Structures are given as structure tokens and as C-alpha cells.
Amino acid sequence: MAQKVAFYTLGCKLNFSETSTIARNFKNEGFERVDFGEQADIYVINTCSVTENADKRFKTIVKQAQKANPDAFVAAIGCYAQLKPEELAAVDGVDLVLGATEKFKLTDYLNDLFKNDKGEIHSCEIEEADFYVGSYAIGDRTRAFLKVQDGCDYKCTYCTIPLARGISRSDTLENVLKNAKKISERGIKEIVLTGVNIGDYGKGEFGNKKHQHTFFELVQALDGVEGIHRLRISSIEPNLLKNKTIDFVAHSTSFVPHFHIPLQSGSDKILKLMRRRYLSNLYVDRVQRIKRAMPHACIGVDVIVGFPGETDEDFLETYHFLNALDISYLHVFTYSERDNTLAATMEGVVPKNVRSKRSKMLRGLSVKKRRAFYESQLGTLRTVLFEGENKEGYIHGFTENYVKVKAPWNPDLVNTLHQVELTEIDEDGLVRFNFVTATVLA
């Protein structure tokens, strides 16, 4: 009887793509994958270090695994496992901790599945994480996360990602296209491009620092892959989002009009303290360029509140900056101190209650922005890709420009594309619609 393995993923789309690849390695070794809440022989937790909350959740997840099977073997991998291996290894129930270079070799460490008194650590100096492992996640029937790049050469003062994932490096263009074709052959309609800093794509493609290809060339090449209905750019730095990429997406039949562009602060003073590679005027230029080329485009924004040195005036500058911008929603992060980052040593620490208040204000602004964007789309014709989950009697889906719609549950709609007219926003803030045609779009 096959041994069973279960996975729990914290953090970003990149982590999900890597978990999926590691799970395929287990399947190739004869393991059966089960849900995390079920009894398994091995539990694998892919950790995250971006938010304080992700760190705290780790112990809770280990307890969940132990409850399902007290004798199971528990392995921790991912960013937090690289940054704080001793901390994770000391958690009761953890048997193995693998760093950045070892996580894809997890099955090699499973010859002895006996419980350990203390977690065994196999980590590395992050300088050793200089090779690339391609990944893609296909757990969802409607969309896949395709990893194209890993690591980061930027030195933002608040960020531990370069310490957790190493230098910027890329998959070969040939392998990206090969993985995209594999995904499309499985009937998946949408691919989301993911990485740590995907706009830096092409650096380290063949193990050297030079750019073999550019992100724009990647976009061009993927646009030509047959069978892919939708391509979505997950997140891209404003300084790496070039005009030619925006213009290409505007005329593409595959790439959708949806951009997620980290801002972090609307105050140039704070951007400089963060060591971001742009100022607020460049960000305004990127948003305006997108909206000129694609007035219906959805633009999401990452923003951090409570960074050291952020005064009330600096925060209000960010608030008013975002309020005036033609954007669609915000992802708000409350700053939390991280070991081995420059920001953790800076003066002007913002009290946590103030950070919380600022976060609440921006989350309120996000609700307002999303509502305004949805209202601007009422009466328009859009294409919806329906999801595969029955949520309280409703099926949900997303338009190409990321408007979330709902309809009474109908299993026949799962993983199909339909042209619809957006008609009204309901009490949940989701959009209702009328089918324009009954036929499924190819």
C-alpha cells in the first residue's frame, strides 16, 4: 500500500507552484497525495517569511498535522526554513528542515521516516542557491501558476526574500514554453506567470548574470503558444514594466488587461528609505500609460504601512496619492520587523496600534476603489472563466480584467469561458451578469 503525503503551503503563488512540483516528485516515487487534514505518513509545510502572521501560523499547522497522525513525519521547507532553520527545527513535532538548495530533493531524505527527537537541518549558505528549478502548479482546474524566475538582486531595506531565495535567476525560455504547453494540454484555460521579480526575467537563464532574454521577449514568445486562452502577469515592479510590454498586452489576444504593480509607499521620502528603484512620479506614469492603452484594465497595488520613519503626513501623502490614482484594488501589508534587514535598525519606529489604524484606512480605500472599478464595468461585455468550487450554492468566475462574478451553482459551467454582460453589483460586492450567448467560447 502506497505511503501518503500531504502538503500545506503558506505565502505566495510562487510557493504554490513549487509545492505542486515537489508533490509531483512524490507521486513519481509512488506516494499518494491526500488533503492536509487527512491521515498521512508525511506532512510537508512550505513556509513563508513575508508576513509576521505566516511565521506564527507554522506552529498551528504542525499541531494540525500531529492531530491527524501523531506518528507522521513532518518536514518544513521554503523561505522561513532557509532563514530560521533552528527555530523551525525546535518546534515540537518537526523532523526535517530543508533550506533553499535542498527543498526540491526532499524525497532523497525520506529513506528513514522515524520520528526525530529534534528536527534535522539541511540548509545552505544562500550564495549556494544559484541554480534554477522550474515549477508549475496545476491543482486548480481553471488556472495554473507558472514559475519563470526566482530570487532577487534588489536590496529593499525591509525584505528578506534575497536572503531566503538567493540571487535573481531565470528558467530558460525553451523550458518555460515547454511547461506552458504541458499546462495547456491538460485543458487548463489560464496561466499566471509567477516569480520573485518576474520583470527581471532572463537574468541567469543559463547560469550567468547576463540577460539571455528579456521579460518582453518572454511575453512575446508565450503569446504564440497554442491552446492557452489566458495569460496573466502576477506582479511586476513599476521600473521593469516597459511601455512596449504594456502596448503588447493591449493588443494581445492571450494576455489579459490586468496588472499588479507593487508601490509600497506614495511618499518619495519613504520610497528612498525603502531603497525602492523608482519614485512616485514613475508609478503615476505607469498607471496612466496602462489606462491610455487599456481603459478597462484592472490595476492592483501592493502597499506597506507603518514603515520606520513614516509620519502621519507621510501616510496621508500615500493615502491621497492612491485615492487620486485610477487603480482597482489594494493589497495592504502592515510593516513587521525582520531580522537581518536594514529597516529593523532604523529610527522612527511606528507604534503597532498606529500601523493597525493606517492599515484599516487603506483597506477601506481598497473596498471603495474596487467598488468604483466594478461600477465602471457595468453594462460592458466581458469574458468569464468559471471556477470549479461550489460556494454556498454559487459558482464564481473572473472576467479577463479581474472582475469577480457570481451565479447560481451549475457544474456545467466549471472551467468554461462565456461572454457575458455585467449587470449589477450584489450585497457581497460581486457582480451579476446575463449570458450574451449560451455557447462555450473555444
- The DSSP-derived string for 87-123 is HHHTSTT--EEE-TTTGGGGGGG-S--PPPSS-EEE-
Q: Measured in Å, how far apart are the chain's first and last C-alpha atoms?
A: 41
Structural domain contains residue 158: yes
Among 124, 149, 166, give the residue marking a domain's end.
Answer: 124
Examine the domain organization and report whether 41 and 90 are in the same domain.
Answer: yes
CATH of the domain at 398: 2.40.50
Q: Which of 377, 398, 426 is the last residue of a domain?
A: 377
Taking a C-beta distance cutoff of 8 angstroms, is the pair 231, 193 a contact?
Answer: yes
Give residue 177's pLDDT: 97
For residue 133, the model assigns a pLDDT of: 82
Asked whether residue 39 is domain-assigned, the answer is yes
In a domain, 441, yes or no: no
- 92 and 155: one domain? no
Do 206 and 273 belong together in one domain?
no
Listed residue (147, 161, 133, 152) closest to 191, CA to CA: 147
Domain shared by 85 and 170, yes or no: no
- Report pTM: 0.91
Does the pLDDT at position 127 exceed 80? no
Would you say how long the chain is, in residues? 442
Q: Beta strand 73-78 with 404-408: parallel, antiparallel or unpaired?
A: unpaired
Domain total of the chain: 4
* 158 and 41, same domain (yes or no): no
> Does the pLDDT of residue 140 top 70, yes or no?
no
Does 309 have pLDDT greater than 90?
yes
The C-alpha cell at 73 is 513525519
Which residues contact residue 232 at a Cβ distance below 8 angstroms, ignoring those fewer than 6 apart?
Answer: 143, 190, 191, 192, 193, 255, 256, 258
Inside any domain, residue 19: yes
Q: Residue 422 is part of which domain span?
A: 381-435
For residue 440, being part of any structural domain is answered with no
- Tell which of 209, 225, 256 closes a domain: 256
Task: Measure the CA–CA gap between 24 and 14, rounded to whole angstroms.
Answer: 16
Instruction: In whole angstroms, give the CA distance from residue 66 to residue 52.
Output: 23
Give residue-wise pLDDT tens across range 237-267.
999 999 999 999 999 999 999 999 999 999 9
Q: What is the DSSP letter of 237?
A: -
C-alpha cell at 179: 511547461
Residue 187 DSSP code: T
- Write the CATH number for 29: 3.40.50
Q: Is 399 helix (H, G, I), strand (E, B) or coil?
A: strand
Q: Identify whether 442 is part of a domain.
A: no
CA 273 to chain centre: 25
pLDDT for 101 beyond 90: no
CB 135 within 8 A of CB 21: yes
Question: Residue 310 carries which side chain, given as an amino acid letter?
Answer: E
CATH number at residue 142: 3.30.750.210
In a domain, 160, yes or no: yes
Nearest Cα to Cα of residue 12 among 132, 103, 148, 145: 145
Q: Are residues 251 and 132 in the same domain?
A: yes
Look at residue 399 in the predicted model and tell me its pLDDT: 97
What is the grid cell recorded at 165?
Answer: 531565495
* pLDDT above 80 (res 196): yes
| Neighbour-count burial of 195, counting CB atoms closer than 10 A to its CB (0-12 exposed, 13-18 middle, 19+ buried) | buried
Predicted confidence at residue 94, as pLDDT, reads 93
